[in-house]
Amino acid sequence: NTVRDVFVRDRLKGTTVRISVGPGGEQGNARSENPAISADGRFVAFESLATNLVPGTARPEEELRAALASASTTAQWSGQPRGSVPEEVVAQLSRSNVYVRDVARGATALVSVALDGRVGDLSSVDAAISADGRFVAFASAATTLVARDTNAVKSAFDSPATLMGLGGVDIFLRDRKQGTTSRISPRSDGAEADVNSSKPSVSPDGRWVAFVSAGDLETGGARRLHLHDRKRRQTREVALDYPVSTGLSFHLSAASFSANSRWMAVASEFYSLTPSPSGVGPDERGPRVVRFWLYDVSSGKLDQVWERFRNSGQPWPPAITDGGVLMGVGAQTDYGPQALFLYDIAAGKELPVSPGPVPEGAFRFSPALSADGQTLSFSSTGGTDPEGPPIFQVYAQRL
């Protein structure tokens, strides 16, 4: 199908299964990406522009016509019947939805479902799933997933690439067992947030949902981390310390939870006011500093456990073990190639990580750490033919 798909690799059986398929194994007609997997590997949540994974998710004809008319890059197709519009153009104008694939049953279900059972009216992205696959958190600009959602800025052309620019992007939690969807990013006084929220993550037990807001849901401000308690229906800010002069240069990763749902790890990034150890920075603003934080969700205790300089890009979410002991992180050290590091929080020291299956010095990123801290998975272009284009591969390394 020449589009990006989602796959699951069973390392014990040595088998690979394509997840982004529809009824009867029909392959998706547009790209699928950003998967999240349950603890036992049975359920996989992902986002997709495909319109054939679940019946009824194709964009209505009248909406497609409006999108064609408003998208200057496809103006030549405006007013044409759907059948005469190339499939790649239809896919470009499709809205992204969130799905869950039951690997055992071979069934795909729509998660970003509206109150009337149909697909949401605007795009949904960034799926995160609980350990048992029951709860799925995601970000969406849709106004039809819950009642009284009026803060979206509607547009006929709202591809995932432009989603965050629309405004009114909220965080939702779908309970697949109860068949209910709740919005968890309004302000604590019940008023709708006037800022975008993004990067949701859900704890393995499904109780906690962390997300990043483009402003403080209480008083307004820079990007901040929030934690929602599903049982108590309360949202609190996790107040990370950062220099006030950083302004919009401050970034947050998505949060990661330990398997026992007690510990939450997150990375923050800002431009330092002091030089890096090498005295080299990317520009006049100084070098970028990444700080790694560990938060005890039961006690509310927050600790900065590590700090590193890096060259470019936003911080990858740190990975954390069951007991909150180790984190595998992606960070560029002293403006060299991006590598992976482990940090023993209890001992307060960095642990060496061998290059593993990729050449030393190759870029390694998007780490994931097993609950026992024995296996580190990551992406890399290290095995790419130097004469050809870079190809991203996924690796698992025994520590």
Instruction: Compute the average pLDDT of residues 313-342.
Output: 66
Check residue 134 and give its pLDDT: 98
pTM for the whole structure: 0.84
Check residue 263 and give its pLDDT: 92
Report which of 285, 242, 296 is spatially closest to residue 267, judged by C-alpha positions: 242
Q: Report which listed range, 14-28, 193-207, 296-310, is most confident.
A: 14-28
Percent of the chain whose predicted confidence (pLDDT) is above 90: 34
Higher pLDDT among residues 251 and 100, named by residue: 100
pLDDT band at 196 (very low <50, low <70, confident <90, very high): confident
Q: Rounded to an integer, what distance in angstroms lies between the CA atom of residue 96 and that of residue 185?
A: 20
Q: Rounded to an integer, what distance in angstroms lies between the CA atom of residue 194 and that of residue 266?
A: 24
Report which of 323, 256, 259, 333 is spatially closest to residue 290, judged by C-alpha positions: 333
282: Cβ–Cβ under 8 A, 6 or more apart, which residues?
A: 288, 311, 312, 335
Q: Which of the residue ranges 34-48, 67-81, 188-202, 309-323 would you say has the lowest mean pLDDT?
A: 67-81
pLDDT band at 103 (very low <50, low <70, confident <90, very high): very high
Q: With the C-alpha atoms ordered 47, 51, 56, 58, is the resulting torsion angle positive or negative?
A: positive
Check residue 354 and give its pLDDT: 74
Report which of 9, 10, 35 is spatially closest to residue 20, judged by C-alpha positions: 35
Check residue 140 and give its pLDDT: 92
Place of tokens 């482990």: 342
Q: Give the tens place of pLDDT for each residue, 234-257.
A: 888 898 876 554 444 567 889 999
pLDDT band at 136 (very low <50, low <70, confident <90, very high): very high
Q: Which of the residue ranges 28-42, 84-98, 225-239, 247-261 would you say has the lowest mean pLDDT?
A: 84-98
Check residue 175 and give its pLDDT: 97
Check residue 153 and give its pLDDT: 58
Instruction: Compute the average pLDDT of residues 148-153.
Output: 72
Instruction: Compute the average pLDDT of residues 313-338.
Output: 65
Q: Which of the residue ranges 16-30, 125-139, 342-356 would you say has the lowest mean pLDDT?
A: 342-356
Report which of 206, 178, 279, 289 is spatially closest to residue 241, judged by C-alpha positions: 289
Instruction: Compute the average pLDDT of residues 205-215.
Output: 88
Higher pLDDT among residues 68 and 175, named by residue: 175
Query: For all residues of the chain together, what is the average pLDDT?
Result: 78
Q: How many CB atoms lie within 10 A of CB 398?
A: 8
Check residue 143 and give its pLDDT: 87
Residue 18, Cβ density class (10 Å: 0-12 exposed, 13-18 middle, ≥19 buried): middle
Q: Rounded to an integer, what distance in angstroms lies between the CA atom of residue 298 and that of residue 261?
A: 9
Residue 106, CA distances (Å) to 48, 220, 275, 276 in order? 17, 45, 54, 51
- Answer whether 97's CB lies under 8 Å from 122's CB: no
Q: How many CB atoms lie within 10 A of CB 333?
A: 17
Domains and CATH numbers, the chain: 1-58+94-239 (2.120.10.30)
Higher pLDDT among residues 271 and 245, named by residue: 271
Bridge partners of residue 43, in order along the sequence: 102
Q: What is the 3-state secondary structure (H, E, C) of the chain?
A: CCCCCCEEEECCCCEEEECCECHHHCECCCCEEEEEECCCCCEEEEEECCCCCCCCCCCCHHHHHHHHHHCHHHHHHCCCCHHHCCHHHHHHCCCCEEEEEECCCCEEEECCECCCCCECCCCEEEEEECCCCCEEEEEECCCCCCCCCCCCCCCCCCCHHHHHHHCCCEEEEEECCCCEEEECCCCCCCCCCCCCEEEEEECCCCCEEEEEECCCCCCCCCCEEEEEECCCCEEEEECCCCCHHHHHHCEECCCEECCCCCEEEEEEEEECCCCCCCCCCCCCCCCEEEEEEEEECCCCEEEEEEEEEECCCCCCCCEECCCCCEEEEEEECCCCCEEEEEEECCCCEEECCCCCCCCCCCCEEEEEECCCCCEEEEEECCCCCCCCCCCCEEEEEEC
User: Cα 307 from chain centroid?
Assistant: 23
